[in-house]
Chains A and B, each alone.
Chain A
């Protein structure tokens, strides 16, 4: 099972995602904005980062860009409620590897498992 960093400012969404992923056996570390996310990502060895794009202090685009500029290699998945084509493109351009739109689907756990398998 994987060690996942969840960067998400909405308390209820992060509680829900943590619950669903913990049941699958994943270990979740939470960061409440991009800045804390960058610190935690660089400090710890995670298998995967789930990144919200709209956050106070530092948004997801900036956080991902900083991580990639620091040669951060871990797979980053944008998990965002901004779902227009330009938003998807912006997230991938910033350095995200995958894009999952909110609301997440019932097969969210499966999507995460597939990504983890692919990126191993």
Chain B
């Protein structure tokens, strides 16, 4: 015997059959058949009551999951209606824009935009309503936002359109990219600086090649006049040649020493050999050496340095004074170069003051930069590598001192080196 009643899900979808089976054959009364149907109805009810319970639990779990995401995500998530009124916003929205949730709900989303964008926003919504045209739906883009404080900031914005019932809503995902923009800017700046430094280095090498070739031209250029014993120039001409070769050779040595000093400074390997010296002895010696050059240019050399004991590296102090006096004489065409000293609370200030061409105000901040020459054009009058002042400043600094410059363009320049009397 076999009897069955179909089981249907709500909406009349057939999902199975309730069956009664026996090994004997028997007839069913109408009442018994009705009972079977009732029994099937009971099974249907139990079955689908349980399933809708399961569905509800699933929906609740999903909802909790969604809430957890909404609450913990660092991006702002804002839902607006078709006219731009804020319906929902997650806590990150509050953090990003600085408003409390209550301040935003029911307000137009335009409150979170700078005015120039806000003005166009109604138009964007209108376009979407009428023609379905959306500039921004589905694709992320970078726009500006406005915080409660009025501060504007860059943000990444992605928008999706959703329908609830028969109404259009928009869900916007907002990411504050202020920090990212800052680091992007810092990277670009670092890259530009690196490029600038490479450019300056290559210009420097170019200039160095030119500077080294000039004295070599003199030295090598004279040699063909001196290598044939039968055709030697008169003795006095040979003496002149030797003098030129000597000056050029010394100049070459000076350039190479500057290069070595620079490389020591770059590698932080510059070492001092300090001893007690009298600054007056050092400066008098140097002045005696440069006197001829000053007289040749008709420049008065004035010495107002007084005796003072210093615990310094005499080689490096000589180099500092030579560089400053050399520059003063190089850039002065008439008048005087004066060197003086004064003692103040354990520090000795040495001033080198000239009545030369002076330095333009715009050039003063970079005057101590290495590789820097104010005029590096092919027209510049003074030769040199641009290393002198960079090296001088470094030498002063490793002595624990400072160097400063005062200048008026066209009137003259004063360099003041301040050194501690002994090592600190």
Contacts and interface: CB of A to CB of B under 8 A. Distances in A.
A101 B210 CA distance: 10
Contact of A59 (B209, B241, B248, B379): B379
B250 to A, nearest CB: 12
B378 A20 contact: no
A60 interface: yes
B223 A13 contact: no
A50 to B, nearest CB: 13
B218 to A, nearest CB: 5
A53 interface: yes
A61 B377 CA distance: 11
17 contacts: A10-B214, A10-B217, A12-B244, A12-B248, A15-B244, A16-B217, A20-B225, A55-B378, A56-B379, A81-B214, A82-B206, A82-B378, A101-B213, A102-B216, A103-B221, A106-B223, A108-B221
B415 interface: no
A39 B210 CA distance: 27
Interface of A: 10, 12-13, 15-17, 19-20, 23, 53-62, 81-84, 101-104, 106, 108
Closest 3 CB pairs of A and B: A56-B381, A81-B213, A59-B378
A81 B225 contact: no
Contacts of B381: 56-57
A60 B210 CA distance: 15
A13 B217 contact: yes
A80 to B, nearest CB: 8
B225 A58 contact: no
B217 A61 contact: no
B221 A17 contact: yes
A62 B378 CA distance: 10
B220 A19 contact: no
B224 interface: yes
Contacts of B217: 10, 13, 16, 81, 102-104
Contacts of A19: 222, 225, 233, 237
Contacts of B237: 19
Most buried by A among B218, B222, B377: B218
Contact of B209 (A20, A60, A83): A83
Contacts of B379: 54-59, 62
Interface in B180-216: 206, 209-210, 213-214, 216
Interface residues of B, number: 27
A57 to B, nearest CB: 7
A81 B216 CA distance: 10
Nearest to A81: B213
A104 B214 contact: no
Contacts of A62: 379
B225 A103 contact: no
B270 interface: no
A106 B224 contact: yes
B35 interface: no
B153 to A, nearest CB: 46
A83 B213 contact: yes
A53 B379 CA distance: 9
- Most chain A CB atoms below 10 A, which of B217, B219, B225, B241: B217
B254 to A, nearest CB: 15
Contacts of A81: 209-210, 213-214, 217
B377 A59 contact: yes
Contacts of A82: 206, 209-210, 378
Nearest to A34: B379
Given A83-B209, A103-B221, A106-B224, A13 B214 contact: yes
B5 to A, nearest CB: 99
B218 A16 contact: yes
B247 interface: yes
Contact of A20 (B214, B224, B247): B224
